[in-house]
């Protein structure tokens, strides 16, 4: 069967929308990417990118040069509409971690006037259970004549920042439709660029599966973080204990760290908790364990610093995880920020992946930090830190939250 080329509107040109729009455009679809950020729209239309992700610049350039990808502040008519906008928190009835669907609702209202019979609307944003049905409700409320004639589906993004382009193609894809026809249409579209298996279900199960994936990871990181605190208390090397336990054929413990950052793992479990608070005891506790880890690290640094008069504290790493430059929701940033404000000594932060102008405080190069620090606090397992010679730091107090300087 000949591949059907479509006109596709992608709402939101961030870490998910832009790679998806560019991928579809390079497969021959006519793609209009819509974003509220005028600067991002201009940058993309000139074939460049406004975010950092390996090889995305090459993909966007080729999509724009092919004439198949255009960015705009406003939408148009099309065959398929993809919503890839953020789902942050808002406070509801005293709960500060309730999901905020405002971006999804605004994007849905923006496309509703342009929808035609038989169009497909895909929600890719990570969303609480029932959001795809809510998208459909908004559309039908605005366009009653389209009731039963519009297809909606949830096809959650599952890509890992730093490996987005590879995972966009290779990962299996969940397609949760509100109808069988919606599933069939979405399946045909994703098959144009997805090599992974296409897994069919209903929209509510798809929404839950995505939240479950990130909650699974959060609970498992919380287990590792709790072990790190227990082992510290008992004077045991947690990295060695985990490595040994992981040699059991059915044990696979994740790695402790300074806390859980990024925009997904630390957010999505709260969407489950908000929808079933009494039933989500483990998921909530895991979030609390991970959120408490930065304070534990700060207390540890303060205890060590108390032995010095005006200590120099070298902080290695600021990003939310290894080998990226993304500082948003980074526990390392919070820790360094707090240490700066606490006035316990001179703080010298270093991150080889972060441009100096991006940090709100002075950044130093690795050699200078290692030379001058009394206390070395390792916060991110960047490749560059793995080469630090143990001999060079043997006289320093080392607090290693990622087990790199063993
Ligand atoms: N972390 C640990 N220990 C570990 C693994 C991670 O402390 O053993 C920390 C990281 O340092 C970081 C945080 O967890 O601060 C999250 O990092 P991550 O690499 O686990 O995940 P993200 O947030 O970059 O991407 C996740 C992925 N989800 C899963 O692996 C289940 C990705 O596939 C999703 O698409 C993405 O969330 C998303 O957008 O939902």
Q: Percentage of the chain with pLDDT > 90?
A: 94
Provide the whole-model pTM.
0.95
Return the residue matching tokens 């939310």. 320
Average pLDDT over residues 81-92: 96
Atom of ligand 1 lying closest to residue 214 CA: 31
3-state secondary structure at position 1:
coil
| Residue 369 scores a pLDDT above 50 | yes
Mutate-to-test residue for ligand 1 from 265, 289, 293, highest number of ligand atoms within 8 A of CB: 265
Average pLDDT over residues 180-206: 97
Average pLDDT over residues 144-155: 98
Query: 265: Cβ below 6 Å to ligand 1?
Result: yes
- Centre of ligand 1 to C-alpha 297, Å, is 20
* Active-site annotation, residues: 210, 264
Instruction: Kindly list the strands in the beta sheet with 312-316, ordered across the sheet, starting from the edge strand earlier in the chain.
Output: 346-350, 312-316, 375-378, 397-400
In this structure, which residue's CA is closest to atom 1 in ligand 1? 260
| Residue 4 scores a pLDDT above 90 | no
Query: 38: Cβ below 6 Å to ligand 1?
Result: no
Q: Do 269 and 215 contact (CB within 8 A), yes or no?
A: yes
Residue-wise pLDDT for 308-360, tens only, equals: 999 999 999 999 999 888 898 999 999 999 999 999 999 999 999 998 888 99
Average pLDDT of the chain, as a whole number: 96
Mark out the alpha helices in 235-330 (DSSP H runs).
238-245, 268-275, 281-305
**Alpha carbon distance 375, 221 (integer Å):** 26
pLDDT grade for 2, boundaries at 50, 70 and 90: very low
Beta bridge partners of 19: none
Q: Do 56 and 93 contact (CB within 8 A), yes or no?
A: no
pLDDT grade for 3, boundaries at 50, 70 and 90: low
pLDDT grade for 223, boundaries at 50, 70 and 90: very high
Mutate-to-test residue for ligand 1 from 321, 327, 402, highest number of ligand atoms within 8 A of CB: 321
Query: 219: Cβ below 6 Å to ligand 1?
Result: no
Query: 127: Cβ below 6 Å to ligand 1?
Result: no
Centre a 10 Å sphere on the Cβ of residue 132 and count the other Cβ atoms it contains.
27
pLDDT grade for 1, boundaries at 50, 70 and 90: very low
pLDDT grade for 245, boundaries at 50, 70 and 90: very high
- Characterise 67 by phi-psi region: left (phi > 0), alpha (psi -120 to 50), beta (else): left
């Amino acid at each position: 069967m000949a591949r059907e080329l479509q006109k596709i509107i992608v709402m939101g040109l961030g870490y998910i929308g832009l790679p998806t729009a560019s991928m579809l455009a390079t497969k021959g679809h006519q793609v209009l990417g819509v974003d509220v950020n005028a600067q991002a729209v201009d940058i993309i239309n000139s074939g460049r990118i406004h975010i950092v992700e390996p090889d995305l610049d090459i993909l966007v350039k080729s999509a724009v040069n092919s004439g198949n990808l255009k960015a705009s502040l406003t939408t148009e008519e099309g065959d398929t509409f993809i919503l890839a906008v953020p789902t942050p928190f808002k406070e509801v009835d005293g709960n500060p971690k309730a999901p905020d669907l405002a971006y999804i609702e605004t994007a849905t209202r923006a496309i509703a006037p342009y929808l035609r019979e038989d169009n497909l609307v895909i929600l890719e944003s990570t969303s609480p259970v029932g959001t795809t049905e809510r998208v459909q409700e908004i559309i039908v409320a605005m366009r009653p004549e389209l009731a039963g004639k519009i297809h909606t589906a949830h096809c959650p993004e599952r890509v890992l920042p730093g490996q987005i382009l590879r995972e966009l193609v290779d990962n299996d894809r969940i397609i949760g439709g509100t109808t069988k026809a919606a599933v069939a249409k979405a399946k045909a579209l994703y098959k144009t660029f997805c090599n992974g298996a296409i897994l069919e279900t209903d929209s509510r199960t798809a929404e839950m599966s995505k939240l479950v994936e990130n909650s699974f990871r959060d609970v498992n990181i919380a287990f590792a973080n709790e072990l790190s605190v227990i082992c510290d208390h008992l004077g045991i090397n947690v990295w060695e204990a985990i490595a040994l336990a992981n040699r059991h054929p059915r044990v696979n413990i994740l790695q402790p760290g300074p806390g859980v950052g990024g925009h997904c793992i630390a957010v999505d479990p709260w969407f489950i908790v908000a929808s079933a608070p009494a039933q989500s005891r483990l998921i909530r506790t895991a979030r609390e364990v991970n959120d408490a880890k930065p304070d534990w690290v700060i207390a540890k640094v303060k205890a060590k610093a108390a032995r010095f008069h005006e200590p120099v504290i070298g902080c290695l790493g600021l990003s939310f995880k290894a080998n990226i430059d993304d500082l948003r929701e980074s526990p390392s940033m919070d820790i360094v920020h707090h240490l700066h404000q606490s006035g316990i000594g001179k703080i010298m932060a270093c991150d080889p992946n972060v441009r100096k102008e991006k940090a709100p405080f002075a950044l130093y190069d690795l050699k200078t930090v290692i030379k001058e620090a009394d206390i070395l606090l390792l916060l991110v397992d960047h490749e560059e830190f793995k080469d630090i010679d143990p001999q060079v730091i043997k006289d320093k107090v080392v607090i290693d939250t990622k087990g790199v300087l063993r």
